[in-house]
Amino acid sequence: MSHTDILSEFWLDRWLPSWMKPYTRLARWDRPIGVLLLLYPGLWGLALASTNFIPLKEILLFIMGALLMRGAGCTYNDLVDHKFDARVSRTATRPLPSKKITRTQAVAFLGIQLFLSALILFSFSKAAIQLGFLALALVVLYPWMKRITYWPQAFLGLTFNWGVLLGWAVLNGKISITPFLFYSAGFFWTLCYDTIYAHQDREDDLLLGLKSTAIKLGDKTRPVLSLFFLLMILFLIAGGIKADLKWPYHLAMMLVFLQAIRQLKNLNINDSFGCLQLFKANHWIGLIIFIGIIFGK
């Protein structure tokens, strides 16, 4: 790979002291797409569980929680993968492999993020707290999956969409089939967008002995992702019916379908930059679903 995933300029850098800049890169604050993809399922859960308007307090807490937990996940992932990252040009300039931050500093930063995340979690209901701790187990295991299975993207799907269940539990207290249908939809959605993302690193992963769905599927990526997108939409439709969502939600599903078709049509697994742009475009799917749930109620 000839490109790096570190931005040369980041707007927050203008306001932060120089010693803090590597930490913003470690937590990926310069790339909010990951926060959005983690946040939207949580917002779906809140919207599904709310009777009228989603309480502003919970929205703000979920935004802060997504920012902190995505940062913690990236920090932990880099601690686990720093030796691999040093051997890939796209990731070699990250703070740990480039030695802008020591492992001790990264561990301390991870602890701070987890502590602040715990403060948010403990402000929720007992059911939500229990779900939060289960999610932590998924976060811990995820970085190791690329070493043992060609389906680490499936494990990420289980992890990144946990917010649907958490958001539902925060306002509803009890889990029902409805959030699980949306959780299943999110699972297949993540399989799609993270497989697209993984094609950026396909050649490097092969050299390093790492595994991914991009390697597993290869030239079959488009037809398999077509199936995954279809399953995503079917679970979204089933979830909408179970939640008794009205016609605006089903209109939103048509827009999600069109967005999926656009991604599949434009997918070129040998174009790293194009794969990155398609990956980023998935925030529109998360937003459309969220808006559809709100107006569908």
Print pLDDT tens along the chain (297 aa).
Answer: 345 555 556 667 777 788 888 999 899 988 899 999 999 999 999 999 998 788 899 999 999 999 999 999 999 999 998 888 888 777 888 889 989 999 999 999 999 999 999 999 999 999 999 999 999 999 999 999 999 999 999 999 999 999 999 999 999 888 899 999 999 999 999 999 999 999 998 998 998 899 999 999 999 999 999 999 999 999 999 999 999 999 999 999 999 999 999 999 999 999 999 999 999 999 999 999 999 999 998
- Tell me, yes or no, whether 4 lies in a domain: no
What's the pTM value of the predicted model, to 2 decimals? 0.92
Structural domain for 200, as ranges = 11-296
Q: Tens digits of per-residue pLDDT, 93-151?
A: 888 998 999 999 999 999 999 999 999 999 999 999 999 999 999 999 999 999 999 99
Torsion angle, CA of 58/60/61/66, rounded to 10 degrees? 120
Q: Which residues contact 105 (CB under 8 A, 6 or more apart)?
A: none
> Which secondary structure element, helix H or strand E, spans residue 233, and what is its range?
helix 221-242
How many residues comprise the chain?
A: 297
In a domain, 187, yes or no: yes
Q: What is the pLDDT of residue 255?
A: 98
Q: Is residue 218 part of a domain?
A: yes
Q: Does residue 132 belong to any structural domain of this protein?
A: yes
Q: Which two tokens stand for residue 139?
A: 């976060």
Helix/strand/coil for 255: helix
In a domain, 6, yes or no: no
**Contact indicator for 25, 95 with CB cutoff of 8 Å:** yes
Whole-number Å distance between alpha carbons of 9 and 261: 33
**Which CATH number do you get for residue 233?**
1.10.357.140
Longest dimension (CA), the chain: 53
Domain membership of residue 115 (yes or no) is yes
Identify the pLDDT of residue 1: 39
The predicted pLDDT at position 220 comes to 97
Write down the residue that tokens 């991604």 correspond to.
263
Does any domain span residue 53?
yes
Cβ neighbours for 285, distance < 8 A, ≥ 6 positions apart = 189, 256, 259, 260
For residue 71, the model assigns a pLDDT of 96
Could you tell me if residue 2 is inside a domain?
A: no
Report the domain count for the chain. 1
In this prediction, residue 2 carries a pLDDT of: 42
